[in-house]
Amino acid sequence: PRAAFSEAEMDVTRWFATQLGALDLPSVRVVKDHRAFVLKTAGSQPEMVKSSLGNYYCKTSLGTILTHEMANPMVRPLLHLYPEKSAPHLSEARQADRWLSEVEPKYAGIMARDAEGQQDYYIHEPCL
């Protein structure tokens, strides 16, 4: 992936921050090294591919994208993973009867957490 800032832009940003009184700013090299570490650790590792028509595009793992979305505290609360009964009103796919009755539980969601976040419940496991 391309950097959001060029080295020249990072230098200008450092200069501006210094003018505003910021102290102990990291060097451009430190910022680039840290960015490389973060991308290696948590990045999506896009892969450049050439199509049969000669066009270049990038692809990345859907699993990695979904992992990042699930870990994102801004996105996770907005995801609805379990079916719900809301008859007769239907406005979301998760409210449809097919999701509730036709999808096998092992594919629909293997774990649920109680409202207090203290207990996890897994399907196909005995309750003690």
**Looking at the structure, do residues 74 and 118 belong to the same domain, yes or no?**
no
Range of the domain at 34: 1-43
pTM tops 0.85, yes or no: no
What's the rounded mean pLDDT across residues 60-85?
86
**Looking at the structure, do residues 49 and 39 belong to the same domain, yes or no?**
no
- CA distances for 32 relative to 26, 28, 42, 67, angstroms: 10, 6, 15, 24
Number of domains comprising the chain: 3
End-to-end CA separation in angstroms for the chain: 49
**Looking at the structure, do residues 110 and 87 belong to the same domain, yes or no?**
yes
pLDDT band at 88 (very low <50, low <70, confident <90, very high): confident
pLDDT > 70 in the chain, percent: 96
What residues are paired with 121 via a beta bridge?
112
For 94, the 3-state DSSP assignment is helix
pLDDT in the model for residue 100: 77
**Looking at the structure, do residues 73 and 85 belong to the same domain, yes or no?**
no
Helix and strand totals (H; E) in the chain:
5, 4
